[in-house]
Amino acid sequence: MGATITHVLGARPNFVKAAPVIRALAAAGHEQRIVHTGQHYDERMSQVFFVQLGLPEPDVNLGVGSGTQARQTAEIMVGMEQEFTENSSAIGVLYGDVNSTLGAALAAAKLGIPLAHVEAGLRSFDDTMPEEINRRLTDQVCDLLFVTSAEAIGNLAREGRPAGAVHFVGNPMIDTLLANLDKFDAASARRAYDLDERYVVATLHRPGNVDSPDRAADLVEALHEVAAKLDVIIPLHPRGRATLVATGLLDAPRVRVVDPLGYIEFMSLVRGAAAIITDSGGVQEETTLLRVPCLTLRPNTERPVTITSGSNRLVTTAELAAAVLAACDDGPYAGELPPLWDGQAGPRIARIITAWLRAADD
Ligand code: UD1
Ligand code: UDP
């Protein structure tokens, strides 16, 4: 097949979602181009995922780096406009809700390039999150909307997106998890960090949690309360490091702060944890599948299925320590998992894109 499919990747969660889609499209014989915007650039935020997940090296890296919301999005738009102008593309494939997703969506839409959005229709209904704006606007300009859970279908319908564009395909982040499950070695991860048999993993990076010193101080107090009873290991995203450390995060003997981890090392720790504390989107889903209790430090989630069909619970800082201890006692989630989270999202997406390209060719 001659027409090129362009994947736009920029930030850590994009890599995890794109790997199974790119693999399935390659197996179907498509020509593909991988554009890395450079939104994430540290080796541990980017390159390690390409290596561990077997992603092809990007054909180009736009090197946009960090910036304010507007500057980063604008630089992605400018870079993607040039990229789409110089390299013909039958369809662009976008992932998730990061600034790279929206920047690429706006650039492509104005050039008339068709677009597919993987993980469409998720909504937190919280416009203070930059991701919520990215999600809503991206979905408005995409031709194929691949959804991971049923409520996304209703969200897209309410926003006027045509039913024919929406495809419930399952969750590619879960494809990646299932494809790598036998590499997640919880026992050696625990030993590597000298953790107790019962330990907790925490990840925090939402602006609403880590940007303000006051909020960071609340969080640190809550984490210290947990660490009074349990070992807590925190692979710390670069965004919050300075503020959380300045607020005293390290001043508790059972708190271990480490650099962001590669996917295999991180998921190995998660698999063996008694509970997870997070504000990540993806981690809420991964813990659902692994049935590890997840306490989400946010007032809302765009992934409600992780609460109704998983072990996720939204908590405040005041509730955190008691919720973690209760979750550890309750043990793994034993209910039904969300429909189609079966490791086959990538092949489903590849089949739909292949059919769509054939129809567009006719
Ligand atoms: C971005 C996404 C967020 C996603 C997260 C995943 C947006 C609006 N936000 O947030 O939805 O959950 O990625 O991890 O797109 N930095 C480094 N090294 C890097 C990358 C970032 O040090 O490789 C630091 C910089 O100080 C930067 C800050 O992290 O200013 C924030 O990076 P940015 O990409 O703007 O947003 P994230 O908080 O990573
Ligand atoms: N992740 C990782 N190493 C870490 C923290 C997270 O590999 O130290 C993985 C995690 O398993 C998930 C992805 O990164 O697959 C999610 O990224 P993140 O939490 O940064 O973004 P979000 O999902 O909140 O957008």
Residue closest to 263 by CA, chosen among 39, 97, 21, 53: 53
Provide φ and ψ at 4, rounded to 5°: -90, 135
What is d(CA 362, CA 356) in angstroms, rounded to the nearest whole number?
Answer: 10
What is d(CA 175, CA 341) in angstroms, rounded to the nearest whole number?
Answer: 8
What CATH number labels 4-170+344-361?
3.40.50.2000
Please tell me the residue having the least CA distance from ligand 1 atom 37: 239
271 lines ligand 1 (CB under 6 A): no
Among residues 40, 117, 205, 237, which one is catalytic?
Answer: 205
Other Cβ atoms less than 10 A from the Cβ of 61: the count is 17
Query: 280 C-alpha to center of ligand 2: Å?
Result: 7
Contact 300, 124 (CB under 8 A): yes
Query: 12 C-alpha to center of ligand 1: Å?
Result: 9
Query: 235 C-alpha to center of ligand 2: Å?
Result: 10
Same fold, 4-170+344-361 and 185-330: yes
- The answer to whether 205 is a known catalytic residue is yes
Predicted local confidence at residue 30, as pLDDT: 97
Which residues have C-beta atoms less than 6 Å from ligand 2?
12-13, 16, 173, 203, 235, 260-261, 263, 266-267, 280-283, 286
Predicted local confidence at residue 361, as pLDDT: 86
Query: 40 C-alpha to center of ligand 1: Å?
Result: 6
Predicted local confidence at residue 2, as pLDDT: 60
Query: 239 C-alpha to center of ligand 1: Å?
Result: 6
Which ligand approaches the C-alpha of residue 100 most closely?
A: 1
Overall size of the chain counted in residues:
362
Predicted local confidence at residue 3, as pLDDT: 79
Other Cβ atoms less than 10 A from the Cβ of 316: the count is 12
pTM across the whole model: 0.98
42 lines ligand 1 (CB under 6 A): yes
What is d(CA 6, CA 22) in angstroms, rounded to the nearest whole number?
Answer: 10
Tell me, rounded to whole angstroms, the distance of Cα 100 from its chain centroid. 13
Domain 185-330 has CATH 3.40.50.2000: yes
Q: Name the residue ranges covered by the structural domains of the chain.
A: 4-170+344-361, 185-330
- Binned average pLDDT, 10 residues per bin, the chain of 362 residues: 87 98 98 98 98 98 98 98 97 98 98 98 97 98 98 98 98 98 97 96 96 96 98 97 96 96 98 97 97 97 95 97 94 91 98 96 84
* Amino acid making up residue 337: L
Predicted local confidence at residue 13, as pLDDT: 98
Pocket test for ligand 2, best of 12, 15, 312 (most atoms within 8 A of CB): 12
Which ligand approaches the C-alpha of residue 129 most closely?
A: 1
Token pair, residue 66, equals 């960090």
